[in-house]
Structure 1
Amino acid sequence: MNNVKLETWEEKVLRNYLDGIHLINIPASRKKRLVILKWLVRKFEQEVTYTERQVNEIIVRHHSDYATLRRELIGYQLMERENGFYWRLPAAQCKSETEIMRQISL
């Protein structure tokens, strides 16, 4: 899939699952969920450490199931957690979509 088609597909996923800044529901499809999580992780600043409470407060602005989305951000390796603190991984450290999909399919 070339970049233009991929962007169009991702934009369509966002349109289908978002109502303004609110996530209507969490996609069952892993590929669509990754698109939503990549959108959500951009709500966190680079190089900022957050407490779990702060992470929950940011996520709940967009969807009430903050616990699932918080775990998914960690599971999809878009954020990291240690000793109750969370931070967004720089894009360079994030695995590619292919690597993530391969890992979660195991």
Structure 2
Amino acid sequence: MTEEEIKIFFNVNVNNEKSYLAVRNVFSDEEVLNHPEKLIAEILKQTYGYPISFMDEAMEELVHISEEKSLKVYENYAQEIVKGYYENLYDFTQELSDCLGNFPG
């Protein structure tokens, strides 16, 4: 996955380009080219929060996932995004929401 494809996937535009660049500039061009999943995992952390926490509506409580498990979740999803498992950000967000709704804790 190229950097341009990453920007398209995450809908980077004039309004949010500064936020993207703040995350992007942590990585060298070589890292982004050879390991785009690292950049994607960092974008996920910045976008969806780290460590992960969410409201479990069935139990009516806020669930906090450890940093280790949160990182693993984001790394797995980054790999899936690179492999093209999700057509767009909307599809990915739906999957993430479903996953967190059924997360074992």
Structure of greater Rg: 2
Higher strand share: 1
Same fold (TM over 0.5): no
TM-score (normalised: structure 1): 0.31
What TM-score, normalized by structure 2, do the two folds share? 0.31
